[in-house]
Amino acid sequence: MQKKYLLEISVETVEAALAAERGGADRIELCADLSVGGVTPSVKLMGAVREQLQVPIFVMIRPRGGDFVYSDAEFVAMKSAIASAKKLGLDGVVLGILQKDRRVDVQRTSELVELARPLPTTFHRAFDISADLLQALENVIQSGAKRILTSGGAKGALEGAAVLADIIEAAGERIVIVPGAGINAANIEQVARRTKAPEFHSGLTTALPYGSREYKKFEEEVRKLVEQLARLS
């Protein structure tokens, strides 16, 4: 029987990835430096996680922290990282590019989406700082991306739940909206009921600080999220 909800967990180490898998995560978002929202992990880390995990792995393609307006050299680095992800057998990429006016850079995003194929692309939380969320939704759909990771423009997904519900309704079947930011076992049920989203994303930073090596606790927190979603199914 297919699960009603899908849970993605962001990690920055092999150990955290394994803990998330043991806890029941359906998918991993692999990053480096989650303290700045995640950047592209090393090729070595990509390969190590792929070798040891069975669940799908989506990799962050972001050359640096900060804004999402990239130089030509940074754009080339993003292309190289996508090529590495494909070569290593990862399952998807996560990226986002804006123009200086905070609108989605459709041309560059489309180029990366095309380069990543057949891997699906998730447009990450650059979406949340775009100038107009509903216009950004249409632009991301135009780019060919398959998912948008978003808090509805708010600090966290719970605070942005009403806007997320509107975005999900506007998106229809055209693209998957994945609520993320501040999601934990205490609020995921409320976010799910208010947004009616099919997928959710968490880094569990409200439960464990960045860089925590308490992998057993991380596994337990992932399992709590899974159990909360199972109750809604």
Average pLDDT score over residue span 132-152: 98
CA gyration radius for the chain? 16
5-9, 35-39, 160-164, 180-184, range with the lowest pLDDT: 35-39
- Tell me 42's DSSP state: P
Helix and strand counts by DSSP (H, E) for the chain? 8, 8
| Chain segment 31-86, per-residue pLDDT in tens | 999 989 999 999 999 999 999 999 999 999 999 999 999 999 999 999 999 999 99
Say how far apart CA 197 and CA 194 lie, in whole Å: 8
Q: Which CATH superfamily, name and number, covers 6-232? A: Copper homeostasis (CutC) domain (3.20.20.380)
The domain segmentation of the chain, as residue ranges, is 6-232
Whole-number pLDDT of residue 211: 67
Strands 57-60 vs 92-95: parallel, antiparallel or unpaired: parallel
* Confidence (pTM): 0.95
How far is it, in rounded angstroms, from Cα 101 to Cα 107?
A: 15
Query: Which of 123, 119, 117 lies closest to 103 in space, CA to CA?
Result: 123
pLDDT digits (tens, 9 = 90+) for 165-216: 999 999 999 999 999 999 999 999 999 999 999 999 999 986 766 666 789 9
